[in-house]
Each structure stands twice: as C-alpha cells, then as structure tokens.
A and B are shown apart, each in its own frame.
Chain A
Amino acid sequence: MVYKLDQRITPLSRIFLVLIFFILYAPIFFLVFYSFNSGGTMYNFKSFTLDWYRELFQDSRLLIIVLNTLVIALVSSLFATIIGTLGALGIHSIRKRQTKNTLLSLNNVLIVSPDVIIGASFLILFTMAGIKLGMYSVLLSHIAFSIPIVVLMVLPKLSEMSPTLIDAARDLGASQWNVLTKVVLPFITPGIFAGFFMALTYSLDDFAVTFFVTGNGFTTLSVEIYSLARRGISLNVNALSALLFLFTLVLVVVYYFISQRNRPGRWGVKK
C-alpha cells in the first residue's frame, strides 16, 4: 500500500507542494521569529532575547487562559464530531430530496451567519434559559457552531459509500449495529477525522462568539488576544503562539507515527 514517492511525484509537483507549505507556514515563522526580538515589536529585529518566554512562564493567568482554550477546543470538537456524525448519518438516510435539502440548509445557517450574530443570539438564548455565563456556556456554543462543519465533512463520504455494500453486509446477516460499526463507520472514518480537525480549527479561531457568551472570569486565548489589540499585542503572545505551535507539531507527528506503528501503512483507515 505504501507508494514510492519518486515514482509518483515529478520534481515540478514537488516544488509546487513545497511552495504551498512554505506559504502556509510563512506567517507562523514570521511570528516565531519576532518572538525572539528584544525590540518589543513585530518589525525591526534588534537583538536575540528569550525574555518573552521567561515572562510567559511567570504569567499564571495566561497559563489558565491557554488551558481553558485547549479544554474547550478538544471537548467541544469531540461532542460536535459525535453529534455531527450522527446527524450526517440521519440526513443520509433520508430519501426525500426536499427534506434533505431543507435539513442541509438549516445545517449551514451557522456557517453563513457572521460570528457577531451567532454570538449575540446565543447570548440572548443563554440569558433567557438562565444558563450562567462561563465555561459551560462557551462549551455549548462551541459545540453548536462546530456541528455543521462536521456534517459537511462526513456527508460526502457517506454518499460515496455504495448502497450495495450495506446490502451485502445485511444479506450476510449483520445486525444494524454491526453494519454501523463494522461497515459504515470504518468507511467514513476519514470524514469524521476531517470533521474533528475542522471543528478544532473553528473552536481555536473563534473570537466573537466566545466573547459574547463568556463571563464570570472565564476567558479564552483569542478573546484575550483581541482585547490586547487596542494597546498593541505584546511579544509574549508571539512567544506563546510559538510554543503552542511547536507543541502541536510534535503532538501531531508523534501521534501519526504511533498510529502508524499500530497499523502499518495507514492512518486509521481500512482497506
């Protein structure tokens, strides 16, 4: 199953891929580079310093904010992935095109609505329902706005699945549950992973919704960063981003190779 790289990729395509990765990472390298600037701003590199990192480790408030952000992102993506996948399965099983499109449109409402509107309307909902603003209201909102992206990532996989596959499994006497866990879920796993990671992206990036529904001392990183803008973002935010970035990178690579060892040749996918 492992392809030989050289046979498949021409030098020209390799340059193309390198270029894409270069552009994707350029702004991040820029941020990391200036996190070592003693000058205190994101231009005019004066001299190398680790002060910003030192400052970072003494700031327990910032550490709490980072942990808040990570917990919210991971937990909300998890819930959103589960609910979203179930939703996609449900939508897929609907035969009537009209109903299907209506559901799909409703699904996409949160993707098209600007964050301010989502934030403001969630705020009104939570206060009407008497939910105390804080960690749980933020968590609920993040789950809510991440669900549609999961559905959109899982649905194409479901529609690629040939119905004969399920029929065959059923003919062989597989129960509903078995069909789901042994046939359907393995097939759509790449879509589910895609959904999870996109949900993570939504959650980590969100500022406006979180801003409105948070309270009682609970803050996430992006709310903190945006509110710093009025007086200029200090370079310890750069240092923080650099560390988080490095941490994620290591995590992703380690995770990949562990799963690789357990399942040679593939990353969580059948075949």
Chain B
Amino acid sequence: MNNKVTRNLYLFPYALWIVLFVVAPLLLVLYYSFFDIEGHFSLVNYKTFFTPVYLKMTLSSFWYAFLITVISLIIAYPTAYLLTKTIHKQLWLLLIIVPSWINLLLKAYAFLGIFGTKGIANSFLEAVGIGAKQILFTDFSFVFVSVYIFIPFMILPIFNALNELNPTLLDAANDLGASKWITFRRVIFPLTIDGVKAGCQVVFIPALSLFMLTRLIAGNRVITLGTAIEQQFLVTQDWGMGSTIAVFLILIMFLIISLTGNRKRGV
C-alpha cells in the first residue's frame, strides 16, 4: 500500500502538468477543429481533410518521416556503439549534443551556403570529378539536414542502452563461439531495443510535423502536415482547419505509440 502512496506522490506534479499543458490544449484543439473559417460549428474541416490534397500530404509526411528515422537509426547506432568504446565517452557524447544548441535558423542558413551552387559541397564534388550538382531544394538536402537535426536525439538513448550492456554477457557469447554478427543480433540488439524504440519515437513523431526545413532547405518542394498547419494558423488564420490537421497528427501518434507499445521483458 505504501507503494501506492509514493507513486501518487511522484505522479502529482507530472499529472498536474498533463492536465494543464496537455489535456487542456488538447481539448482546445479539438474544440477549434469543429469550427469553420467563419466561426460556425461544422464538420467541414474533417471533410476537407479527406480530400486528395491532404491525403497526399499525409502520405508524403509519413514517407519522409520514415526515411529520416531509418537513416538516423542506421547512422546513430554504429555511432553510439563506437562512442561507448572511446576513453572519454561521456565527453564525446556531450560533444554530439553541443551543435544542437546553436540556433536552428542560423544552421539552416549555413547549410544554404554549404549546399549552394557555389558552396563547399559543390566545390568538393567538382574537385572529385563528379561535377557540380543541384543539392539545395532536393529531397536529398531535405533528408540530410533533417537527419542532421534529429541525430543527437537518436544517439542519446541508444548510447545509454549500449553503455549499460554488461561486458561479461558479450564475453560469454564470445566464449560460446558466437560470431560478431550473431552476438549483435541475438545479444546486443535485443538488449538495447528500448533505447532504439525511444530514439525512433523522438525522431519519427516530430519528423511528421517538420515545417521550417521544408521551406528553407527543400524550397517548399516537400509539403508536410506541419507545413500545412503552420500555414493555416499563421497565414490563412483558419485555426479550425489547422486544428483539424493537428487532431489527425495526434491520432496518428497515439496509433504509433500503441503499436510500438511497451511489452516489458520479464514483467
């Protein structure tokens, strides 16, 4: 019983936060989604969402978020793994996070310079003999910069999971004659799956609603749900439609959480 009391004690400030800053805004968004642009109660926004324009947008948001997550994972996992092997691993880990403290808009501007027609990336391509290419305003640059931004969020939980790995377990696998690949697949990866899941969640979910980079780096060639919400709120000032898209975004997120749900080991 004692347990329950402490648990409630832990949960109190957190629950207060959920009520004030999650449930209340959530209800607000839901409420707004039932009003058309002239402030009349209607379901017109929901009807609009199921038109080809928005469905296409949803699909493309999913596709890009998926790409960004997968590529982040492919890069982050070996990075995190190698980081755990360095001497000053905690320092190196911190140094992975530091670049994300520089203002995003400034970094995006830097990428405009780096990827530009006369930028460093193109000079390099020319020197190598490939020749200048249009890098800016392509899918490549968009995914690249998005991965750049999200990668610390992916590395961190994976690093923490890997760092906790008991070295004796690996030795044991080794002694039993498991190859490196088998050890990875059967021992290391399953033991770090929670970290991988956490990483994927903090990358995939916000990637669905990316907006600024779609304009800055992709030149509006990529339109995501986030871009559309941004526009509805700030340009059209149709808070109803903006809220409706947000409602769907949140529903999608609920779905992802329950699918990747927490089946605990040993509990």
Which residues of A pack against B, CB within 8 Å?
2-5, 8-9, 13, 16-17, 20-21, 23-28, 30-31, 34, 42-43, 82-84, 86-87, 89-91, 93-95, 97, 100-101, 103-114, 116-118, 120-122, 124-125, 143-145, 147, 149, 151-153, 155-157, 159-160, 162-163, 176, 190-191, 194, 197-198, 200-201, 204-205, 207, 221-222, 225-226, 229, 233, 237-238, 241, 244-245, 248-249, 252-253, 256, 260, 266-269
Quick one: CB contact mask for B227-262 with A, threshold 8 Å, 1 for yes?
A: 001100110000100110010011011100110011
Which chain A residue has the least Cβ–Cβ distance from B225? A114
Complex Cα spacing A244 to B151, Å: 22
Instruction: Give the distance to chain B from A194, nearest Cβ to Cβ, in Å.
Output: 5
Given the complex, which residues of B lie within 8 Å of A237, measured CB to CB? 106
Among B90, B102, B242, the one with the most A-chain Cβ atoms within 10 Å of its Cβ is B102
Complex Cα spacing A13 to B242, Å: 46
Known: A5-B87, A104-B262, A252-B95. A205 touches B104 (CB 8 A): yes
List 20 extra interface pairs beyond A97-B261, A114-B229, CB under 8 A. Answer: A13-B85, A16-B82, A17-B83, A21-B96, A28-B110, A90-B11, A104-B262, A111-B202, A114-B226, A144-B20, A147-B17, A151-B14, A156-B194, A163-B266, A190-B160, A200-B101, A222-B105, A241-B106, A252-B95, A252-B98
Complex Cα spacing A30 to B259, Å: 42
Interface of A is mostly: helix
B106 touches A31 (CB 8 A): yes
Flag whether B111 is at the interface (Cβ < 8 A): yes
Flag whether B107 is at the interface (Cβ < 8 A): yes
Known: A30-B110, A125-B24. A252 touches B11 (CB 8 A): no
Instruction: Give the distance to chain B from A107, nearest Cβ to Cβ, in Å.
Output: 7
Range, interface on chain B: 35 or more
Quick one: CB contact mask for B91-129 with A, threshold 8 Å, 1 for yes?
A: 100111111111111110111011010101000000000
Contact partner, B2, options A30, A176, A253, Cβ 8 Å? A176
Among B109, B161, B211, the one with the most A-chain Cβ atoms within 10 Å of its Cβ is B109
Complex Cα spacing A198 to B97, Å: 8
B98 touches A156 (CB 8 A): no
A116 touches B148 (CB 8 A): no
Flag whether B68 is at the interface (Cβ < 8 A): no
B14 touches A87 (CB 8 A): yes
A-binding segment of B25-33, B39-47, B131-139, B181-189: B25-33
21 pairs, A vs B, C-beta closer than 8 Å: A16-B82, A27-B107, A28-B110, A91-B11, A93-B10, A94-B7, A101-B258, A106-B23, A111-B206, A114-B249, A120-B233, A149-B202, A159-B194, A176-B3, A190-B163, A198-B156, A222-B105, A226-B105, A245-B98, A256-B90, A269-B163
Given the complex, which residues of B lie within 8 Å of A244, measured CB to CB? 101-102
A116 touches B95 (CB 8 A): no
Interface of B is mostly: helix
Complex Cα spacing A221 to B105, Å: 11
Which residues of B pack against A, CB within 8 Å?
2-3, 6-8, 10-11, 13-15, 17-18, 20-26, 28-29, 75, 78-79, 82-83, 85-88, 90-91, 94-107, 109-111, 113-114, 116, 118, 120, 148, 151-153, 156-157, 160-161, 163-164, 194-195, 197-198, 201-202, 205-206, 208-209, 211, 226, 229-230, 233-234, 239, 242-243, 246, 249-250, 252-254, 257-258, 261-262, 264-267
B102 touches A245 (CB 8 A): yes
Among A42, A112, A147, the one with the most B-chain Cβ atoms within 10 Å of its Cβ is A112
Which chain B residue has the least Cβ–Cβ distance from A20? B79
Instruction: Give the distance to chain A from B43, nearest Cβ to Cβ, in Å.
Output: 20
Contact partner, B258, options A94, A105, A106, A249, Cβ 8 Å? A105
Known: A24-B99, A112-B206. A267 touches B91 (CB 8 A): yes
Given the complex, which residues of B lie within 8 Å of A118, measured CB to CB? 25
Given the complex, which residues of B lie within 8 Å of A95, measured CB to CB? 267
B105 touches A9 (CB 8 A): no
B194 touches A109 (CB 8 A): no
Given the complex, which residues of A lie within 8 Å of B151, measured CB to CB? 24
A117 touches B160 (CB 8 A): no
Known: A106-B22, A109-B22, A204-B101. A116 touches B110 (CB 8 A): no
Known: A5-B86, A30-B110, A93-B3. A109 touches B250 (CB 8 A): yes
Given the complex, which residues of A lie within 8 Å of B75, measured CB to CB? 20
A156 touches B152 (CB 8 A): no
